[in-house]
């Protein structure tokens, strides 16, 4: 029998956290504190050997890769960008990605100002200025299309860039499309569908196999897989 070891789960703040709670509950894990109200960064759960860290989505892969957390939940977008620093694969970053949780679903798209003729710009082979937080995804997408781009890295509010002439286009997450519409932007390319993924530290999986497998299996049945 494996002794009960502490299992640490890193969750993304915000939208993903909200959508993760029902899944955790279905997996038998009840978070006992509300991160919106408490300033605590380590949250206890109804299971004495399971604790939850609340971090920025982009930090989740880093916590899991270096063993600050055994498991993590974050978007496919974030994992692709993180893996790009490790030769493009999550496994090279020491991450095992066993399960698509099918939550926080959205898409990553190219959008431009409604008055920008994207099709002509692409056809004429113009060099496009593209602002994005998702540099690896954008680079790969435009390289595959054979479109030359200058990528401008931003950390938020990408929608602003075409409005003030910083870029011709943006690559960003789109869910309802309301943010684009409110800023007179239109979606011109759908790059890929995005949802939240479960990632596991490969070394932790070996050391704490029974406890981690139990959690992976509980998530799998909670999402109907
Ligand atoms: P929407 O107006 O519903 O299309 O949402 C677009 C805004 O929300 C953009 O600023 C996106 O970066 C952000 N967003 C949409 N879906 C997600 C998601 N699943 N995770 C994180 N941010 C998202």
Segment 209-223 mean pLDDT:
95
Contact 172, 111 (CB under 8 A): yes
Give the nearest ligand 1 atom to 178 CA: 2
* Residue 134 is assigned to a structural domain of this protein: yes
Q: Do 11 and 93 belong together in one domain?
A: yes
3-state SS assignment for residue 61: helix
Asked whether residue 2 is assigned to any structural domain, the reply reads no
Confidence band of 107 (pLDDT split at 50, 70, 90):
very high
Cα 173 to middle of ligand 1, angstroms: 5
Q: Does residue 1 lie in a domain region?
A: no
Q: What is the CATH number of the domain that holds 48?
A: 3.40.190.10
Q: How far is the CA of 38 from the centre of ligand 1 (A)?
A: 25
Ligand 1: centre distance to CA 180 (Å): 10
25, 29, 30, 33 alpha-carbon torsion, rounded to 10°:
-130
pLDDT tens for 162-195 read 999 999 999 999 999 999 999 999 999 999 999 9
Domain of residue 11 covers 7-104+195-222
Q: How many domains does the chain have?
A: 2
Residues with CB under 6 A from ligand 1: 15, 75, 104, 106, 172-179
Q: How many angstroms does the Cα of residue 105 sit away from the middle of ligand 1?
A: 9
Query: Which residues in 100-117 are b (16+ Cβ under 10 Å) and which e?
Result: ebebbebbbbbbbbeebe
């Amino acid at each position: 029998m494996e002794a009960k070891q502490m299992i640490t789960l890193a969750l993304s703040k915000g939208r993903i956290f909200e959508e993760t709670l029902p899944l955790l509950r279905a997996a038998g894990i009840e978070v006992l504190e509300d991160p919106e109200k408490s300033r605590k960064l380590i949250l206890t759960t109804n299971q004495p050997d399971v604790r939850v860290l609340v971090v920025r989505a982009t930090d989740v892969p880093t916590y899991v890769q270096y063993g600050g957390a055994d498991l993590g939940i974050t978007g496919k977008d974030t994992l692709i960008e993180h893996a790009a620093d490790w030769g493009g694969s999550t496994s090279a970053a020491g991450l095992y990605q066993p399960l698509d949780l099918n939550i926080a679903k959205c898409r990553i798209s190219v959008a431009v100002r409604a008055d920008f003729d994207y099709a002509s710009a692409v056809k004429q082979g113009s060099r496009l200025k593209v602002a994005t937080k998702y540099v690896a995804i954008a680079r790969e997408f435009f390289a595959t299309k054979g479109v030359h781009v200058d990528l401008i890295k931003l950390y938020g509010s990408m929608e602003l860039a075409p409005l003030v002439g910083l870029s011709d286009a943006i690559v960003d997450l789109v869910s309802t499309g309301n943010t684009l519409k409110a800023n007179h932007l239109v979606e011109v390319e759908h790059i890929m569908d995005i949802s939240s993924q479960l990632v596991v530290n490969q070394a932790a999986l070996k050391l704490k196999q029974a406890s981690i497998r139990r959690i992976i299996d509980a998530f799998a049945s909670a999402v109907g897989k």
